[in-house]
Structure 1
Amino acid sequence: MSNAAPPTPSAALPVLHGLVLAGGRSARMGRDKAALRYGVQPQLEAAFALLQPLVEECYVSLRADQQDEPLRARFPQLMDTAPGIGPAAGLLAAHAHAPQAAWLVVACDLPCLGTDTLDALRAARDPAHAAIAFRSEHDSLAEPLCAIWEPIALQRLQAQVAQGRYGLRSVLASDDVHLLRLPVAHALDNANTPEEHDALLLRRKAPGHD
């Protein structure tokens, strides 16, 4: 694992903050995905610990009704101000909190994610890029929930949401969004159902899995 310090922002690059998205309802899983354990820590704790050393400030995104939940209450929080629009609500809350900052955003339910993958995003930052994301291993489109959203991309999301459109991938379809190949295969694998969770847990426990 890299021990790299948060990068010092240049005049051309905004400061980088971190956001762990943990405001979902986990309806298909039937239990809180943030509290699932693939190792010794709840997944939210593991995601925050991974992200925090790489950014200037780090927060957990959540719904207002989750703020006193014991696991989430342990972390700096940013509450959704536009509930019911999915992860766009978390990104907009982050942008409202620090509109001049870029945000390294990760979903809380990515148990295979490692520092090398996040370092690839940070290394690709450039003033010409509105965002940095990975191409999905499944459909080659942008993966919006492990990405760096520069202020211009968040401004575009804000304008899109004002028009009643909440999808994140449409914002990342712009020509000035830089898409990378995942440096570690399956790093963004997650689970949304109990069956997928059991399969992913078994795969992570298999011999030879790092």
Structure 2
Amino acid sequence: MISKEHKKHSDLAKPSYGKFNRNEWAIVGMQCSNIKLLADKIITALSSQYKCTYVDAKHSMENENALLPPHLESGAMASYVDHINYHQFNFNKEYNDFQLRQLLNDADIVLVNGNHFQAKSQVVVIDETKKESLKKRTEQLTNIELILLADNAPDVFDFIKDFPSIKNTPVYKLDETSKIIDFFKAKMQESIPLLNGLVLAGGRSKRMGFDKGTIQWHAKEQQYYVADLLKELCETVFISCRSDQQKEIDTNYSTLTDTFIDLGPYGAILSAFRAQPDKASLIVACDLPLLDLSTLQHLKEHRNISSMATAFESPYNHFPEPLITIWEPKSYPVLLSFLSQGINCPGKALRNMDTAVLKIQNPETLMNVNTPEDFEKVQHIIQTMHPHHAK
């Protein structure tokens, strides 16, 4: 009798997190004070472009006689202080990896004191005075991406050379700061999430009375017109639809069915991240008949990967326009958090997260069609521009 193995959990695409973040490096192989100095140099160079975070721990002897902050001493779980130019949280609780990733989700790069914590990638310093200490940490060296030679170390230690993965690892002197900075700049460029396109075509068009995605404003159904525009800019393009719509979509176009159902566009955005949590999504509604390629190119060219999203400012209400927006992977857990608080409005999410907002060059391109009256207005505009296109 052959029994099939029982699966308790469904397959779920997992984001490429380390302990703290997607982009994290532990600096290991020298004294803690020198690790902090090196981290400060890197952060100083990168902080104008990226959100940087440093993770460290106090030595136990340093904390032996330290008192808890006042409210924590009284039994509070946490305290928050607004210091005007910075904000301070104190917690009297342990944090596991899941919670730490949530806290540091907004960061673009996390540098870690490798004497205290492990990280997904490592910067190994070759320092003769810390040779034995480094030997004890070899199990932590899972992905060495940079080797730095201290003044007292003419060459890489033999036990480090034994790692097969370091064959092409760059080796610099510890005082070659510009090369170290260039290494991290290159790594951050490599880490830019690939951009998918997503055409929102899963709405029920109740106000219009018929499917807006099938209107042929430009000699083809609008959902395919928008998808073809996005193919010029994106790695992969999907038409977002309900499961009952999927069979009606032209098989020349890839589809992505909603897995967060009955949430409208919000559910489509979450469904895209659920399928590919490490890809960014350029989301475009199918009811923007005046949208053109140059508008989409402008959005992509001014994409701010350090923000949660990049959107145009709506000329109608001056809020970020949610339905022609680049949503970065770091927005996924934030969107889920909003949903857990009863919010499923993409516009409200954009207004309450770190969103890069661009001025629109041609406001007409953001005009959407929701009603028969809108239809007549836009049809007249398009017939004036291209008499043979609109039907």
Please tell me whether residue 97 in structure 1 is matched to residue 264 in structure 2: no
TM-score, reference length from structure 2:
0.49
The superposition leaves residues 118-145 of structure 1 with CA deviations (integer Å, 9 ceiling, x where unpaired) of 1111111233221100011101001011
Q: What's the counterpart of residue 114 of structure 1?
A: 292
Q: What's the counterpart of residue 22 of structure 1?
A: 201
1:170 to 342, 348, 370: 348
Q: What's the counterpart of residue 312 of structure 2?
A: 134
The superposition leaves residues 38-83 of structure 1 with CA deviations (integer Å, 9 ceiling, x where unpaired) of 12111111111111120111101111111112x4554211111122
Quote the offset at 1:159 in angstroms: 1.7
Which one is further off, 171-180 or 187-196?
171-180
1:77 to 239, 255, 263: 255
AA aligned to 2:306 is A
Q: Is the 8 A contact 2:266 2:346 kept in 1?
A: yes
Q: Is the 8 A contact 1:12 1:127 kept in 2?
A: no
Q: Is the 8 A contact 1:60 1:72 kept in 2?
A: no
Which one is further off, 197-206 or 71-80?
71-80
Please tell me whether residue 55 in structure 1 is matched to residue 234 in structure 2: yes
2:363 to 177, 185, 198: 185
Please tell me whether residue 145 in structure 1 is matched to residue 323 in structure 2: yes
AA aligned to 2:215 is L
Classify the secondary structure of the residue corresponding to 1:10. Answer: helix
Q: Is the 8 A contact 1:13 1:126 kept in 2?
A: no
The change in CA–CA distance for 1:19 and 1:208 in structure 2 (over 3 A counts) is closer
Quote the offset at 1:183 in angstroms: 1.4
Distance in 2 (alpha carbons) for counterparts of 1:191 and 1:175 = 27
Classify the secondary structure of the residue corresponding to 1:103. Answer: strand
Distance in 1 (alpha carbons) for counterparts of 2:324 and 2:346 = 12
Distance in 2 (alpha carbons) for counterparts of 1:35 and 1:208 = 18
AA aligned to 1:40 is A
Where has structure 1 moved over 4 Å in runs of 4 or more?
none
Q: Is the 8 A contact 1:66 1:72 kept in 2?
A: no
Distance in 2 (alpha carbons) for counterparts of 1:178 and 1:57 = 23
The change in CA–CA distance for 1:208 and 1:66 in structure 2 (over 3 A counts) is closer
The superposition leaves residues 68-124 of structure 1 with CA deviations (integer Å, 9 ceiling, x where unpaired) of 12x455421111112211101110110011101110010011111111111111111
Q: What's the counterpart of residue 225 of structure 2?
A: 46
AA aligned to 2:210 is R
1:32 to 188, 192, 211: 211
1:160 to 320, 335, 338: 338
CA RMSD of aligned residues (A): 1.8
Q: What's the counterpart of residue 5 of structure 1?
A: none
Distance in 1 (alpha carbons) for counterparts of 2:270 and 2:206 = 23
Runs of 5+ unmatched residues, structure 1: 1-8
The superposition leaves residues 129-174 of structure 1 with CA deviations (integer Å, 9 ceiling, x where unpaired) of 2110001110100101101000112221122113321011122114
The change in CA–CA distance for 1:156 and 1:72 in structure 2 (over 3 A counts) is farther
Q: What's the counterpart of residue 120 of structure 2?
A: none
Distance in 1 (alpha carbons) for counterparts of 2:247 and 2:386 = 39
Which one is further off, 185-194 or 119-128?
119-128
The change in CA–CA distance for 1:72 and 1:33 in structure 2 (over 3 A counts) is farther
> Taking CA–CA contacts closer than 8 Å with sequence separation of 6 or more, which of the two structures ends up with the larger relative contact order?
1
Larger Rg: 2
Classify the secondary structure of the residue corresponding to 1:50. Answer: helix
- Percent pairwise identity: 35
- Provide the aligned length of Structure 1 versus Structure 2: 200
Q: What's the counterpart of residue 4 of structure 1?
A: none
Classify the secondary structure of the residue corresponding to 1:178. Answer: strand
Q: What's the counterpart of residue 6 of structure 1?
A: none
Classify the secondary structure of the residue corresponding to 1:64. Answer: coil
Q: Is the 8 A contact 2:305 2:328 kept in 1?
A: no
Runs of 5+ unmatched residues, structure 2: 1-187
The superposition leaves residues 18-37 of structure 1 with CA deviations (integer Å, 9 ceiling, x where unpaired) of 10000000111111101011
Distance in 2 (alpha carbons) for counterparts of 1:124 and 1:155 = 23
Classify the secondary structure of the residue corresponding to 2:312. Answer: strand
TM-score, reference length from structure 1:
0.89
